[in-house]
Structure 1
Amino acid sequence: MITVGAVGDLILDEPDPEFFLAPAAPVLRAMDLAIGHIEVPHSTTAVQQSTDVPAPPADPAALKAVAGAGFAVATLAGNHVLDAGAGGLADTIAYSRAAGMETTGAGPDLAQARRPAIVERGGLRIGVLSYNCVGPRESWATSRKPGCAYVHVLTHYELDHASPGGPPKIYTFADPDSLDAMAEDVRSLRSEADVVLVALHKGVGHTPVEVAMYERPVARAAIDAGADAVFSHHPHIMRGIEVHRGRPIFHGLGNFATVTHALTPGAGVGAEELQAWAERRTKLYGFAPDPDMPFFPFHPESRNTVIAFCRFDGTGLREAGFVPCWIDDQGRPVPVGGTPEGETVTKYVEDITRGARLNGRFTTRGTEVLVDLTEGVPS
């Protein structure tokens, strides 16, 4: 039996990155494989070409801390992957691999961005794919341009009541061609790997509970094509858990170690832009970060987080679940399973799962919480 773990976003843009990962490292190192999502470029370049909320590159040395904490696969398909230009992307891949991690989800062209990371553990070949579902288009790879693998999601706004200028109903759905491309990748990987895992960068940022219209169909399409599990991130706050055909879909693993002053007004660089973003964030998402944690500019509820896991043997998936974690006052994700704090995090996961009308059901076992895989199995 092997255990594969996964976490949400990693942003290590503060000194001493090992410090922020230290509490969780023993749990991660005890797993046969741990997967983390590298949210921002890691490079010494001065290039910045962000078309989204700015994400300056972090110190490449932080990737050694990521690997040292137990991560062996880094997923890269996300909205900030090209914020430091083609050179920043190339550096991120090179430094990740130099640290000992396999990468997937980004590359010098689309074919290489779609290439899986494949590792072997316990006699099983494990393949990991990574896709960005949130844009911006500038981050996408093409046959002649570096960037990330992606699923193109379309948004349609419709005013369905007699109030011009009022709030519309929002419809989101995946472009069939890019959804088919993802499914093709999964089927291809299924033919050469014993375990197939898909990471999706998706969801509505900084917004509790909500799972957008496109998210379940895209994640289910990965399972239908042969994936054993789907691990998601991007909103910087957790989402609930679904089971489809006996396979777990973690709709959002939220923040893990995400420490940065890059979004904090007064940080010095781009002060006017940061202040404008802080005001816009409050208007859009209805929260202001904790002023006592200027290095953690995220929703207060995002301090709830987990380490998701799946266990496999030669017959396939045997169980899935998560280790509850709490981000402490220093920005460190701390495993709290088997404690009152762990019960609080588990209750949060249950509440957001029910709130999004997902079918996940949970049972606590020691320091872990198991997902009932009998849900969502065709009769």
Structure 2
Amino acid sequence: MELIFTGDLILDEPRPDHWLSGIAPALRNADLTIGHLEVPHTAHVEEVRDDVPAPGADPAHLAALARAGIGAVTLAGNHIADLGAVGIADTVRGLAEVGIAYTGAGATLAEARKPAIIARGGKRIAVLSYNCVGPESSWAGPDRAGCSYIRVEAVDGGPIRPAAALDRIDPASLATLAEDIEAAKAKSDVVVVAFHKGIVHTRARLAPYERPLARAAVEAGCDVVIGHHAHIVRGIEFYKGVPIFHGLGNGCVVTRALSPDQASPERAAWARKRKELFGFEPDPAYLLAPFHPEAVNALLGRLHIDANGKVRAGFIPVHVDPPGRPRIAPDAAQRIADYVQAIGIEAGLPPLTMQITSEGVWLS
């Protein structure tokens, strides 16, 4: 059985099948492809004014994800509640209509914590999803729509939000994580844990809580940890033989929401402020994906499980072409492998042993 993992998915632009077509062959070849859906897909327009709200995407674009081969999505992120309970309800209803399993958000916290369990190849795969970066207004409650979460306190004791320096994991959240993994493991053969975590738009760096959190998930019994949110690839490591993809980068992000020239004053101001905060100038050729210049180096995480249960981890190299379309890039395999190795070492991760083949890059 083969699982494929993508990073953030934002399909704000028309022709979603076109933007996904460069990676769709690999997504369809897997037994199960799991992506992270970054924004609500809804016609609702009333925004929740906390942090910098993202616009909703066309609900019809969810069908393009299914056509591209995505069978499950994680929803726990900092933007899924930007259009409130209506946006979440429209999104999960739309996913159900096109046959994509989901986890990480719902009308209550109990719904958000419920794993997606998908049957493939005679096995059951459970997927859990958590937002680690806030804002707290996006988190679900006993009677409030939102996403599931891991509480990570800000260094200064201030509000928990993506721009804050976050460092200390709340012990109660770790207990919840362990409880959820144990329950998912009882119902499945493979447990995937996805964290929306880390420091955005910055090369290599891992926040102080990221490695301890991933290791806690492994200690609780999961089979792979995947991360997203930073919009740039992070390093990969193994803990007790379990692969940890600290940041998958962008899966497919095409949006005008990060342009400094737009109707939303909050989003326009954020687009300008990003340059000051993170010290990079987006390449003007990447009109629909104005991210850090190194974000053109992308990947699809990969997990191969043989008939004896032996796990092999790796990735499929991806290059992002202007104005933002990702494509499978066997011609760039060495370059992207070298990049993943370099940023991992910079972040303090152990060096990886890599084998580059016609199928992609295998790790140990």
Q: Report the identity percentage.
A: 47
Corresponding residue to 2:285 among 275, 284, 292 = 292
State the TM-score, normalizing by the size of structure 2.
0.95
Q: 1:183 aligns with which of 178, 190, 195?
A: 178
Name the residue aligned to 2:274: 281
Distance across 1 between alignment mates of 2:55 and 2:65? 18
Question: Which SS does the other structure have where 2:117 is aligned?
Answer: strand
Q: Is residue 195 of structure 2 the alignment partner of residue 220 of structure 1?
A: no
Match of 1:167 in 2: none
- Match status 1:350 vs 2:341: yes
Which moved further from structure 2: 282-291 or 28-37?
Answer: 282-291
> Deviation per CA, 1:66-109, whole angstroms, max 9, x where unpaired?
11100000100000010011000100111111111000000100
Q: Which amino acid aligns with 1:287?
A: F
1:369 to 357, 361, 364: 361
In structure 2, give the amino acid aligned to 1:290: D
Give the match's secondary structure for 1:71.
Answer: coil
| 1:246 aligned partner, one-letter code | G
Superposed counterparts of 1:55-134, under 5 Å: 55-134=54-133
What's the counterpart of residue 162 of structure 2? none
TM-score, normalization: structure 1? 0.91
Supply the distance in 1 between the matched residues of 2:242 and 2:282 (Cα, whole angstroms): 35
Q: Is the 8 A contact 1:50 1:84 kept in 2?
A: no
The SS at the match of 1:42 is: coil
The answer on whether the counterparts of 2:72 and 2:101 sit within 8 Å (CA) in structure 1 is yes
What are the superposed Cα offsets for residues 17-66 of structure 1, whole Å, 9 maximum, x if unpaired?
00011011111101000000000010001211141222010101111111
User: Post-superposition shift, 1:342?
Assistant: 2.0
The yes-or-no answer on 1:312 pairing with 2:305 is: yes
1:200-237: CA deviation from partner (whole Å, max 9, x where unpaired): 10000111100110001111111111100001100111
Corresponding residue of 1:196: 191
Unaligned runs of 5+ in 2: 158-164
Give 1:360 deviation, angstroms. Answer: 4.9
Q: Deviations over 1:226-277 (max 9, x none)?
A: 100001100111100010000000000001210100120222x22x433421
Aligned to 1:86, the other structure's residue is in SS state: helix
Distance change (3 Å), C-alpha of 1:46 and 1:232 = same
**Are 2:333 and 2:361, in contact at CA under 8 Å, matched by a contact in 1?**
no
CA contact 2:5–2:300 (8 Å) conserved in 1: yes
| Counterpart position of 1:162 | none
Whether the aligned pair in 2 keeps the contact of 1:50 and 1:80 (CA below 8 Å) is no
Count of aligned pairs between the two proteins: 356
Partner residue, 1:375: none
Query: Matches of 1:103 and 1:58 in 2, distance apart?
Result: 17
Q: Which amino acid aligns with 1:229?
A: V
